[in-house]
Chain A
Amino acid sequence: MANKQASAQVDETKIDAKIPAGPLAEKWSNYKAHQKLVNPANKRRLEIIVVGTGLAGASAAASLAELGFNVLNFCIQDSPRRAHSIAAQGGINAAKNYQNDGDSVYRLFYDTIKGGDYRAREANVYRLAEVSNSIIDQCVAQGVPFAREYGGLLDNRSFGGAQVSRTFYAKGQTGQQLLLGAYSALSRQIGKGSVKLFARHEMLDVVVVEGRARGIIARNLVTGKIERFFAHAVVVGTGGYGNAFFLSTNAMTSNASAAVQMYKKGAYFANPAYAQIHPTCIPVHGDFQSKLTLMSESLRNDGRIWVPKKKEDAEAIRLGKKKATDLKENERDYYLERRYPAFGNLVPRDVASRAAKERCDAGFGVGNTGLAVYLDFSSSIERLGEDTIRERYGNLFQMYEKIVDENPYKTPMMIYPAIHYTMGGVWVDYELQTSVKGLFCIGEANFSDHGANRLGASALMQGLADGYFVLPYTIQNYLADQIQVPRMSIDLPEFTESEKAVHAKIEKIMKIQGDKSVDSIHRELGLVMWDFVGMGRNTAGLQTALEKIKAIRHEFWTKVYVPGVSADLNMELEKALRVADFIEIGELMARDALMREESCGGHFREEYQTPEGEALRNDDEFSFASCWKFNGEGEEPILLKEALEYEFVNRQQRNYKA
């Protein structure tokens, strides 16, 4: 079947996403009305592994346990509450229309599809918008202290890519509060014994028995012991792969290893090239830097983005001869307001990021590196007063001041785009099941709902939608056929083989004893990713990236040095295992970006742009989700295509100008 097309080996087999028939608004209701369920007595006999305790993992583990399943839940941190969802700042979208400003399930669906540049599945996105309202109700019931108006009702703010205010928030700590809500529901089940928690455990393989996922191999990070776990189904919610870039806004231990293991066991990896570069991050400031810090998109509600109008001014600022506040109003270029009058500073993230890069590349950047633009609150402070701004963003301003040592109430913030979120991920069908039976993937780790670009405040919505309201239904449709399957022994040959392979990989790394630290190789990979697979991509650059990544892989497997022993707490070994997988993901991203000869959302191919420099899609040839199938170590993966049928929405060139 395989034939060579463009830069990839293509398998033309049709991929079935199992989208229910019927009108868009009735698909999910119809699915639920006709799906198979598992009765309470049988639920008690079934075990489910949930890997990850972020918004998706924690909400899924808690909800499944409430239903009566036996849940085994894993996280790499010391507590489920540390998962990186906790760092999400701005808010969570829902189609409540509490503001009476014209919102609806359809409008949230439409904005999300459009924001994703028409590269997501209609049915999935509609379902997401549909369950969004239940998420808010659920979180309020758990005691999540959302911001409220003086009348006692819930407050909303606006976010990029929307013309309504539909974002619910808890100061600049919405992710924290939602995660603590899910964590409390999870803790309740752990207390009851219906969830068994394995903290400081890292999944290192998924065990497949007769074509079905039946367990995982995990490393106890405290003792170094490799352990085996059985379950009737495995759910993975381990987040995105942004740390392939080394510097990102992800947490230090955020990693792609679970996803890579799933991929190597037969799960397709979809749209790896779709990575989101967030426009408002604190600029890079030194070689020692370990990570980047995001400043919430909500700041664009009240902050205005600008660079100097004249290059001389930009240069004077870079040399420290002038300050931002020295420039008068008519000497500033509010380039987003100028280019996109209708949405202004609230254009989607990919558009805002590229616009910042364009100005900096043209020589108008500020900061000592020239890789920064201003985010200015002076006119909002004048209009609303410093107290109002403090109430809205106090913790963000404080965080900025701690890192940069400048007071953003007095002088504009400096920001620059940074890698933040990955829309691509493990391919799942409508039921959130991967191409391996019994293996499910939820939250950022899957590819399902955001297309080529995610709108602000939609990650929290998707993570919780998957965990609270989608997976607990769809997994039963699978498990209903598994009730006769007894618990399997972890001494089965499949478990033994998996564990052996994990041991072999670890011992191989330990034995290299080269002279390169894990971090130094990770940094090299990150630079290649940022330079060639970042905001602007082109054929030559992507080919260079593929070559360089190959060399980095070779360097890793011949020169890495991991001290200590494997049978003990060994953080360098943990990092090494993750970097080995980031190299695989990095290559897959470059490959996918090279194959996709169009620009869409966060994927910008410089060869394909409109005369105004906007992303130019090619719906005739690239209206598909690219699904990469592992084809053996050292072999090129095979490309399968899930055609994206747009039955309900008329696709257009995205327009945020008028």
Chain B
Amino acid sequence: MDKTINLTLKVWRQAGPKAKGEFVTYNMDHVSTDSSFLEMLDVLNEKLVKQRKEPVAFDHDCREGICGMCSLYINGHPHGLDGETTTCQLHIRRFKNGETITVEPWRSAAFPVIKDLMVDRGAYDKIIQAGGFVSVNTGGVPDGNAIPISKVYADEAMDAASCIGCGACAAACKNGSAMLFVAAKVSQLALLPQGKVEAAHRAKVMVAKMDELGFGNCTNTGACEAECPKAISISHIARLNREFLVAKFKD
């Protein structure tokens, strides 16, 4: 029943943040087409451990496409070529027998390599810490149904909120811009009455933090939207720009 194929992997190995990295080639025979990309890497690592070599370091956790921990540039695309798919949900059946697959870490100035395929995405957390929230403390809030919210806005906010913070947008962008990530949060909260109060200020401080952390500018190439595993729309960037302008006018 189990169909298998043979693959050649060219994997980026780098001992540490300052070490020089290089591609190392591994032949993978009889990989089950039902296995996920990360399960194939598990098999590779198991093989390396058997050979008493160090396994390839890569980030991963839920393996259900929701935690945002997995990354990887696969054949030149963040999370591989499959649309709306995280690396952990990418399956080997999408590859051809005999294919060579190049596996690299995110390449972005703001995401330095920690080891092999693992990068530091702490910059995304810092952007959220700058203003990606509604300033309410626990307790003392109104009833959940006190303010009706149009289903249309609630659904659009939900679409923006599906961002998993994986970093694919910045990694895909030739300018290394985090605009889609920032826009998704700004847009989600601006669409809801609870977040509207601080919307302009939020846009301003989050963009300022993004610039400070070394992310590039947005030039509307749309690469982020195309590569986003959750299909977050760049229309949210328009909403971010609107809030940003409002903030500038207020200054």
Contacts and interface: CB of A to CB of B under 8 A. Distances in A.
Interface in A65-88: 66, 77-84, 86-87
Nearest to A76: B61
A352 to B, nearest CB: 21
Contacts of A184: 128, 132-134
Contacts of B162: 171, 173, 176
Contacts of A349: none
Contact of A62 (B54, B65, B85, B138): B138
B91 A66 contact: no
Contacts of B93: 405
Q: Which of A77, A290, A398, A519 has the most CB of B within 10 A?
A: A290
Interface in A92-148: 96, 98, 134, 136-148
A633 B244 CA distance: 61
A151 B132 CA distance: 28
Interface stretch (A185-193, A336-344, A537-545): A185-193
Contacts of A563: 49, 52-55
B35 A149 contact: no
A147 B154 contact: yes
A243 to B, nearest CB: 12
Interface in B127-153: 128-139, 141-145, 148-151
Contacts of B212: none
A293 to B, nearest CB: 6
A627 interface: no
A39 interface: no
Interface in A553-583: 561, 563-564, 569, 571-572
Size category of the binding interface on chain A: 35 or more
A332 interface: no
A152 B149 contact: yes
Given A137-B143, A185-B138, A563-B55, A517 B46 contact: yes
A190 B132 CA distance: 12
Size category of the binding interface on chain B: 35 or more
Contact of A288 (B42, B142, B158): B42
Interface string B74-111: 00000000001100010101000000000000000000
B149 A148 contact: yes
Interface in A465-505: 468-469, 472
B188 to A, nearest CB: 7
B142 A141 contact: yes
B84 to A, nearest CB: 8
Given A79-B124, A149-B151, A405-B93, A86 B66 contact: yes
A572 B55 contact: yes
Nearest to A139: B144
A291 interface: yes
B219 to A, nearest CB: 27
A187 B133 contact: yes
B20 interface: no
Interface string A136-178: 1111111111111111111000000000000000110100110
Interface of B: 1-2, 32, 34-36, 38-40, 42-43, 46, 49-50, 52-55, 57, 59-69, 84-85, 89, 91, 93, 114-115, 118, 120-122, 124-125, 128-139, 141-145, 148-151, 154-155, 157-158, 161-162, 164-165, 188-189, 192, 194-195
Given A140-B144, A190-B125, 18 more contacts: A81-B165, A137-B141, A137-B144, A143-B188, A151-B148, A152-B148, A177-B158, A185-B138, A187-B129, A187-B133, A199-B122, A251-B62, A251-B67, A252-B60, A288-B32, A289-B39, A290-B38, A569-B57
